[in-house]
Amino acid sequence: MWAGARRVALRIGGAILVLWAAATVTFFAVRLIPGDPAQAFLGGPGSQASAEALARVRAENGFDLPLWQQYLGYLGRLLRGDLGTSYSLHAPVADVVGEQLLGTLELALWSLVIAWIIALGLALWSVAGGRVAAHVAAGIEMTAAVLPHFWLGSVLILLFATGLGWFPAIATPDARGIILPALTLAIPLAGFLAQLLREALQEAAAQPFVLTARARGESRVGVFARHTLRHAAGPAIGLTGWAFGSLMSGAVVVETIFARPGLGRTLVSAVQVRDVPLVIGLTLVAAAAYLVVSVLSDLAERALNPALRVSRDALVERALEAETPAAPGTFSTPGAFGTSGTSEPSGIFEQPETSGTEPRA
Amino acid sequence: MSSLRRSARHIPQALAALVLLLLVIAAVFPGLFAPGDPLAINPADGFQPPNTTHPFGTDGSGRDLYTRVIHGTGPSLLIGLGATALGIGLATVLGFVAGLGPRWLDFGTSRVIEVMLAFPGLVLALLVMVISGPGAFGATVAVGLATAPGYARIIRGRVREIAGSGFVEAARVQGRGRMRILTRHILPGTARSLASLATLGLGQAIVWVCALSFLGLGVAPPAAEWGALLNDGRQFIATFWWLTFFPGLFIVLTAVSATVLGRGLAKTTRSVS
């Protein structure tokens, strides 16, 4: 119990440290931006602001103070939740973020749900369908995982909006309007999750406890639902934090294609007009969201399968590179449900790699 | 496994290599595939759907999209290569420092990597774009920096794995110097991983650079770079679909080929090591 509490405290402490470092990096990165911040505040170099107005803005915003004082003031304001004032919208950044947050969260959640459904379907089909299915699924997964959002979004618009007319091409606030944007985000993510799930399912199916459960007389379906799937879903759930981060990146593109209000679209327009406080505010919010979801998904994963303390880092590494050589003594026996595909798995995870995922004694 | 089956397994990789080779040829000698001028306008031919004279259709000024896509291969691959080189280069330095340095250095470097990872990739790239300003150079730097932390973590893991393996231990016991172990064992051991990582990364980098251009922050539209073409066609997605479809298809083709080839390389790495 105490070890668990300590782990949670360490994770949260680590997240706060990372946030602080992120805020510091962005603060000093802004100093690299050419141009006078006071001028930017008054509408950019073209605005011909008077010297008095510039001086007033400098004094009001503390641009004339020594750097360390500005830095401390900035951190203090951050702690109070004050992200500054947007140059272009002339509204507090926190308010802008608050307005746009809901749209992006809604989009991200829908995408996560859809991605999970597709990934589960694909992974189950490839595990249950034998060798050919595994190969086909691996191909689909890999292609889906690399599809760029900007292209997928336009193809979906072409098919379902202009072609079939099922869904609107421009995002509308109702449920019909969110399907295409959510699908655009979900398909690449589903490809990625499915690769991970399939690998984990094949690995879990080869574990001794599956054989034991079958020997006890449990049905195939029962073993699958109670043991294999639970065992295999953990790592993918643990990756939800990472997935959320990738959704934030994707939202930037998807919200632009579908003209959907949200953080991503606001970020793009803020970058275009070089609205520095808004860009920083949005990046910090994105980083914070990523960290919060990472901690939460980490905890969920542990709650789901306490025996399986998989290092999330190791999983991300594995998933991103498929470089890990097979550990000696890898289970390469065919799975328990006729998953002959395991003897020759294809795709990103060539060999079930057990060293990182075995329950620690 | 029969040799036939074994060679059948390499068909996707051979195809991927062929596609990439053709793309490189198109990048260096675009005139071979598309002899026309990518900037030649012909307003009477505006917004032609794909047909026999214009296989990919034309844009609003009547420029032939096929010619523009082919001529866009060079800049697109070049920016992608630049971003990959920057990302992998930076990641290699970070990964080696963290993987081989003393504990405190590893701790410090790993935290730096973690902070960079906390920014979702495209968001970090956009932050860099604000600092550097839009353009091809900015996009290269932005994507390079945004992809570096992920690679750094992988390289660090690989370096540590090799540094802790039996043959390095054996070399150490034999009294080999640290530099010798680094250059004779650890560097060659990571070289293949780096090669596969760079190939995988190239596809991703091109996608990311094009995403930036698509958002209007990368290469400016008169140029024929793929992302710029996408940005050109962005407002016509629902009406003149070919303007985004074909440049996007080339991006997807490049990304899929790079991924297939990169994974193939990763597999051979494994069977060798």
pLDDT band per the 50, 70, 90 thresholds, residue B81? very high
DSSP conformation letters of B71-84? HHHHHHHHHHHHHH
Q: Which residues contact B181 (CB under 8 A, 6 or more apart)?
A: B168, B171, B172
CB contact under 8 A, B111 and A150: no
If asked whether residues A207 and A77 sit together in one domain, one would say no
Question: How many whole angstroms separate alpha carbon A154 and alpha carbon A254?
Answer: 10
pLDDT band per the 50, 70, 90 thresholds, residue A341? very low
Domains of chain B by start residue, with CATH: 78-233 (1.10.3720.10)
Q: Among A47, A68, A89, where does a domain finish?
A: A89
| Any domain includes A271 | yes
Q: What is residue A86's predicted lDDT score, i.e. its pLDDT?
A: 82
CA distances from B255 to A175, B76, B199 (A): 32, 12, 10
Question: How many whole angstroms separate alpha carbon A198 and alpha carbon A349?
Answer: 9
If asked whether residues A19 and A136 sit together in one domain, one would say no
- For chain B, percent of residues with pLDDT exceeding 70: 94
pLDDT in tens, A246-284: 788 888 888 888 888 888 888 888 887 777 788 888 888
pLDDT in tens, B31-53: 778 777 777 777 777 777 788 77
B258 versus A343: the higher-pLDDT residue is B258
If asked whether residues A28 and A48 sit together in one domain, one would say yes
pLDDT band per the 50, 70, 90 thresholds, residue A46? low
A10 lies within 8 A of chain B by CB: no
DSSP conformation letters of A267-307? HHHHHHTT-HHHHHHHHHHHHHHHHHHHHHHHHHHHHH-TT
| Any domain includes A320 | no
| Any domain includes A73 | yes
Q: Among A28, A57, A89, where does a domain finish?
A: A89
Q: Among A64, A89, A114, where does a domain finish?
A: A89
Residue whose C-alpha is closest to residue A240's, from A292, A288, A305, A202:
A292
User: And the tokens for A249?
Assistant: 């990146």
Most confident of A1-5, A222-226, B24-28: B24-28
Domain that holds residue A146: 92-310
Q: Is the pLDDT of residue A289 over 70?
A: yes
Q: Is the pLDDT of residue A360 over 80?
A: no
If asked whether residues A83 and A96 sit together in one domain, one would say no
Q: What is residue A322's predicted lDDT score, i.e. its pLDDT?
A: 46
Question: How many whole angstroms separate alpha carbon B127 and alpha carbon B120?
Answer: 11
If asked whether residues A217 and A306 sit together in one domain, one would say yes
If asked whether residues A40 and A55 sit together in one domain, one would say yes
pLDDT band per the 50, 70, 90 thresholds, residue B84? very high
| Any domain includes A316 | no
| Any domain includes A335 | no
Closest residue on chain A to B268 (Cα): A323
If asked whether residues A65 and A52 sit together in one domain, one would say yes
Report the residue count for chain A. Answer: 361
Q: Is the pLDDT of residue A330 over 80?
A: no
- For chain B, percent of residues with pLDDT exceeding 90: 11
Q: What is residue A345's predicted lDDT score, i.e. its pLDDT?
A: 36
| Any domain includes A336 | no
pLDDT band per the 50, 70, 90 thresholds, residue B89? very high
Question: How many whole angstroms separate alpha carbon A73 and alpha carbon A116?
Answer: 43
The number of C-beta contacts closer than 8 angstroms across A and B is 170
Q: Is the pLDDT of residue A206 over 70?
A: yes
| Any domain includes A172 | yes
Query: What's the structural domain count of chain A?
Result: 2
Count H helices and E strands in chain B, helices first.
12, 0
DSSP conformation letters of A145-206? HH--HHHHHHHHIIIIIIIS-SS-SS--SSHHHHHHHHHHHHHHHHHHHHHHHHHHHHHHHT
Q: Which residues contact B1 (CB under 8 A, 6 or more apart)?
A: none
If asked whether residues A170 and A25 sit together in one domain, one would say no
pLDDT in tens, B145-155: 988 988 898 88
For A90-98, which contacts have Cβ atoms below 8 Å and span 24 or more sequence positions? A93/A277, A93/A278, A93/A280, A93/A281, A93/A282, A94/A281, A96/A266, A96/A278, A96/A281, A97/A263, A97/A281, A97/A282, A97/A285
Q: Is the pLDDT of residue A352 over 50?
A: no
If asked whether residues A84 and A105 sit together in one domain, one would say no
B130 lies within 8 A of chain A by CB: yes
If asked whether residues A47 and A31 sit together in one domain, one would say yes
Which of A26, A141, A323, A330 would you mutate first to test chain B, the one with the most B CBs within 10 A? A323
| Any domain includes A360 | no
Most confident of A154-163, B8-17, B82-91, B263-272: B82-91
pLDDT band per the 50, 70, 90 thresholds, residue B88? very high
Question: How many whole angstroms separate alpha carbon B111 and alpha carbon B105?
Answer: 10
A153 versus A44: the higher-pLDDT residue is A153
Q: Which of A19-28, A130-139, A186-195, A309-318 has the lowest mean pLDDT?
A: A309-318
Cross-strand bridge partners of residue B58: B64
CB contact under 8 A, B123 and A146: no
pLDDT band per the 50, 70, 90 thresholds, residue B87? very high
User: Least CB-CB distance to B211: which of A148, A245, A274?
Assistant: A148
Residue whose C-alpha is closest to residue A235's, from A175, A298, A277, A158:
A298
A285 versus A233: the higher-pLDDT residue is A285
Do residues B73 and B106 make contact, with C-beta atoms less than 8 angstroms apart?
A: no
If asked whether residues A70 and A145 sit together in one domain, one would say no
Residue whose C-alpha is closest to residue A96's, from A107, A106, A83:
A83
pTM exceeding the 0.90 threshold for the entire prediction: no
Chain A residues in contact with B124 by the CB 8 A cut-off are 283
pLDDT in tens, A95-126: 888 888 888 888 888 998 999 899 888 888 87
Residue whose C-alpha is closest to residue B37's, from B227, B222, B250:
B222
Report the residue count for chain B. Answer: 273
Other residues' Cβ atoms within 10 Å of the Cβ of residue B75: 20
If asked whether residues A29 and A96 sit together in one domain, one would say no
Most confident of A95-99, A128-132, A309-313: A95-99
Q: Is the pLDDT of residue A349 over 70?
A: no
